[in-house]
Structure 1
Amino acid sequence: MCRFTLLLEQMYKLDSPYTWLTFQVLCRYRNVWNMELKLRPAFLGGVMQASGNKPPAMVPNKALYMTKDLEHLASFVNIPLHSPADPFDVMFAKGSLAAMRFITAVAEKDKGSDHMVEKVSRELWNRIWSRDQDICEPESFSEAGLKAGLSSSDIEELLKLAKSQAVKDKLKQVTQEAIDHKAFGFPLIVCHVDGKSLVFFGSDRFELMAHCIGEKWLGPQPEKMDSHL
């Protein structure tokens, strides 16, 4: 059985919507491919600094291209993606370290299962990339958590846990694991097969990945493809 580790960041730099696309597709393949999907929040800033990389948006032509590219990909993958009114303020001025720590807290409390990590992550992505809403304040985490199915008491506990040294250290640990895999950005997928680690970067490597692990690529919406087989 192959085991996928999706190093999932929520810094919401310009490549974060690509991570959302990858996240959504991999979640759809949970029961299609013979795999275990592990969602692992990591800190993009640490990876960029360690690798010497720079955000693609720093190159004007790349930023222009990616705006249209994301529109096409969102339609292709069938995700309601809409850029925030001020993407630079969201991605660079505000950042999302607090959101990263909150998701890490969810992951720590939800050990052994990524069910709630998936749901809360999706709600936070929807907030910022579908509805242009905040993901920095505790009230935002509470709203996302409630929509994901958490109770008020669970959220209160998670908000406290997110500020703990244990969660901060966990986020650093997973980020270091990404760096150890020679990461230079996200989305990053690490597939462990036969004692070896295969590393894939980007939201357009699914077909190649399927080939490498001996699975079939059925497109970004495998349930639709299955209905025609």
Structure 2
Amino acid sequence: MSSKKVVELFFDVVSPYTWLAFEVMCRYRNVWNIDLKLRPGFLGGVMHGSGNKPPGLVPNKFLYMTKDLDRLARYFEVPLQAPSDPFEAMFEKGSLSAMRFVAAVQQQQQDGDKQVELVSRELWRRIWNQNQDITTPESLSEAAMKTGISASEVAELLRLSTTKEIKDKLKSTTQEALNHGAFGFPLMVCHVDGKPEMFFGSDRFELMAHCIGRHFVIPQERSGSDLSPNYQLPNFNL
């Protein structure tokens, strides 16, 4: 079997398209035999740094996005449902406090990357399935404790998330994404033969697979012989 290739996934839980990419990459991590690096960043910083504008500012794009997300959610079997006011959730409330919290989880927890996956999924569920806020300490605490993090650990994570150390960590990762050419999330960077290959969006998995010498099959066929027999979908019983 060929050696593992490194794929970085830069993400922000405010982005619904990134949730789709996040779940697909987690499903294919073992199938493709890759070393998946989860890189929590700040989408607002990427948009500002690249001069990009949110699609919600263009009415027709916003209308298309809502229909597109519904189709993609069913296709990828991710229980994504738009909150009552998607524009407010994505562009007015924002995700800075949530992503600082996720960055703190990655740094502080013993199995940081695994806990980042679990906590991030819970935050996505809150905003993009349960129509709940992800900006308050109470909401962050509830999401983290659902993944098995104790109340005392959560209190420390909340404290850590407000420190300069974590703020600088999130800024640094966001700048790394910009250095790769990011203008939005999801951003996936495949490291092949010493060179980074950047892919944007939740519709480039076939090209990514070709880039790293792997094969992508459509999600509905993930129980077939090409995929790991040990793979199980996350518990989406809400």
Q: TM-score range by the shorter chain?
A: over 0.9
Match runs of 1:1-229 below 5 Å: 1-10=4-13, 12=14, 16-110=15-109, 113-220=112-219, 223-226=222-225
RMSD of aligned alpha carbons: 1.6
1:25-83: CA deviations, max 9, x gaps? 00011211121011111111111112111001111111111111100000000011110
Shift of 1:227: 7.9
Matched AA of 2:189: V
Q: Which runs of 5+ in 2 are unaligned?
A: 230-238
Question: Distance between the aligned counterparts of 1:179 and 1:93, measured in 2?
Answer: 22
For residues 133 and 74 of structure 1, do their structure 2 counterparts lie closer, same or farther at Cα, with a shift above 3 Å needed? same
Q: Given the two structures, how large is their TM-score scaled by the length of structure 1?
A: 0.94
Alpha-carbon contact 1:210-1:217 (below 8 Å) kept: yes
Q: Secondary structure at the match of 1:199?
A: strand
Please say if residues 46 and 177 of structure 2, whose CA atoms lie closer than 8 Å, have aligned partners that are also in contact.
yes
d(CA) in 2 for partners of 1:25, 1:43: 21
% identical aligned pairs = 60
Once the 2 structures are TM-superposed, how far is the Cα of residue 164 of structure 1 from its aligned partner?
0.6
Distance 1:87 1:101, change over 3 A: same
TM-score normalised to structure 2 length: 0.90
Quote the offset at 1:221 in angstroms: 5.2
Letter in 2 for 1:134: D
Deviations 1:149-200 (A, max 9, x none): 1111110110110011000000000011011011111110001111010100
2: CA distance between counterparts of 1:95 and 1:191? 28
CA 1:41/1:222 → structure 2, altered by over 3 Å: closer, same or farther? farther
4+ residue runs over 6 A deviation: none
Distance 1:227 1:207 in 2: 15
Query: What runs of 5+ residues in structure 1 fail to find an aligned partner?
Result: none
